[in-house]
Structure 1
Amino acid sequence: MEKQIVHLFVFNTLADWETGFAIAGINNPDLQKHPGRYRVQTMGLTAEPVTTIGGMTILPDITLAELEPSAMLILPGGEAWDAGKNAEILEAAEAFLQAGLPIAAICGATAGLARVGILDDKLHTSNALEYLQTTHYRGAALYQHQPAVTAGNVITTNSTAPLEFAYHIFKMLDLYDTEILEAWYGLFKTGDASYYATLQSLATPLLEEKMKATVRKQFKAELGRAKTAIAAQDYGTAWNALQRAHILGQRDAIPHTIAHWNMLKLAWKQRDFREVAGQILPALLATPLTPLFGQLRSLRGGKASVNDSGKMAISEDIQRILKH
């Protein structure tokens, strides 16, 4: 499947945090309905580096002059909008809509859309109705007091709702199955760990696509061995099995996450709070970080109380399976 481009407009004073969830989800193939279907490409008015509100420097991949129709155009907020800048990109936004292509705007970018009349005839939201009225637009009657609104091919979002911004973008791009999207949103919106468990259960079938058959079979066997050992209160064997599972799954995000999640549960069962503390971040970050660093890290057992100098030796049988 040929990758489709999602363009992200970058400019001086861009609000870093407003597109974080969206960019991470689009670029990370894990859990996606069609993994790797999209990639984000940054686009600036010129080829010059830009500096965000947070002080980060971004070198645009392309310039506005090089912009071609794509899967979506994302317009972040930033102080430049209220200074009357970025007018050039608004012409591109209008061209996208005329071609039937979606655009997504948050915070100050919604005011930009209002200035050129894009919000005059469709439901929309922004930071506040009064904020948009300063643009003298004619769509006030269609303003919605909601964090985010999708109307046709236009997504508008309040500055305080980067999570909802991503949620609406993911729906527009049909990035995830509905159950996965709702569990993802529920987890980050509420912090309720039950949503994490739901994501784990939904992700498990994806192992069929992510792991070689022999590795997958042994990974499941180790999880089963750990479960049996825990039931028998043989925690030493359980930890050994989970560490072996971690080695087998460490370089694939979903099994890597599952291994740490089971380690976290076992540590809690034993009331080993030092290990619990050490497993929380790996359990939360394994999915987003494994695609970035998983292939670079040496294989290890994954137990938090064992540092890099004390890595678990990889048994010969696992070495054979991994090389199969």
Structure 2
Amino acid sequence: MKDVLLLLTDGFADWEASYVTAVLNKPGTGFRIRTIALDLEPKVSMGGLRVLPEYSVKDYQPDAKPAMLILPGGTTWLEERNVPVKELVAFCVRESVPVAAICDATTFLARYGFLDHDRHTGNSLAYLKEGAPEYQGEARYVDAQSVSDGNWITANGTAAVEFAAHILEKLGVMEGEGLQEWYTIFKKGYVPQPE
């Protein structure tokens, strides 16, 4: 069983990772979701869900390399208190652990130079540049709902389903027609019947 880390901040956007966590945590996928935060205090999502993290960033010592780090967006990503998260991201980069970020979590990554050398997206290029003045990745920005490039998956805040699809594909949980059918169900609410 491989761990997928879900990083929780105060005010995290609970819906942005909900599609993918529900699939990954199913029996038989080979994955399990583990929550991590700056500390072990409960984190309250934008929707009012109170979640008790399993690990703290400061004390995290994995038994085995995690399969992925997922960073949902939220209301506090640009606050200084979240700076220590960059060490967890740097650990993932060193260990070739894929990192998936959506919404304001992409701005956090841009602020610390993680997106300067790979294709990526975010809420918008202007938004990334405003929230991350040090950002140097403009030439690699892609105006898309979600982008997967190497060990990075990035998405804008309206792309929870696309974000999930890229993660499921990257981890090998779904692919091809099965992934397309899953995506269509959650994006359109139905599967078109063949004519």
TM-score of the two chains, using structure 1 as the length reference: 0.56
Give the number of the structure whose residues are more often helix, by fraction: 1
SS in 2 for 1:141: helix
Matched, 1:102 2:98: yes
Give the letter for the 1:169 counterpart.
Answer: I
Matched, 1:87 2:83: yes
Counterpart residue number, 2:4: 6
How many residues align structurally?
189
Give the letter for the 2:105 counterpart.
Answer: A
State the Cα deviation string for residues 264-323 of structure 1 (Å, max 9, x = none).
Answer: xxxxxxxxxxxxxxxxxxxxxxxxxxxxxxxxxxxxxxxxxxxxxxxxxxxxxxxxxxxx
Q: 2:190 aligns with which of 184, 189, 192?
A: 192
Give runs of ≥4 in structure 1 deviating > 4 Å: none
Shift of 1:147: 0.3
Contact 2:169–2:175, Cα closer than 8 Å, also in 1: no
Give the letter for the 2:191 counterpart.
Answer: A
Matched, 1:66 2:60: yes
Which of 1 and 2 has greater Rg? 1
Counterpart residue number, 2:46: 53
Counterpart residue number, 1:314: none
Pick closer, same or farther for the CA change 1:142–1:74 going to 2, 3 Å: same
Q: 1:128 aligns with which of 111, 121, 124?
A: 124
Counterpart residue number, 2:155: 157
Give the number of the structure whose residues are more often strand, by fraction: 2
TM-score of the two chains, using structure 2 as the length reference: 0.92
Higher relative contact order (CA 8 A, sep 6+): 2
Q: Which runs of 5+ in 2 are unaligned?
A: none
Give the letter for the 1:158 counterpart.
Answer: N
SS in 2 for 1:91: helix
State the Cα deviation string for residues 239-275 of structure 1 (Å, max 9, x = none).
Answer: xxxxxxxxxxxxxxxxxxxxxxxxxxxxxxxxxxxxx
State the Cα deviation string for residues 33-70 of structure 1 (Å, max 9, x = none).
Answer: xx230000001111111111111100011111124230
Give the letter for the 1:54 counterpart.
Answer: G
- Percent identity over the alignment is 39
Q: Which runs of 5+ in 1 are unaligned?
A: 30-34, 198-324
Give the letter for the 1:161 counterpart.
Answer: A
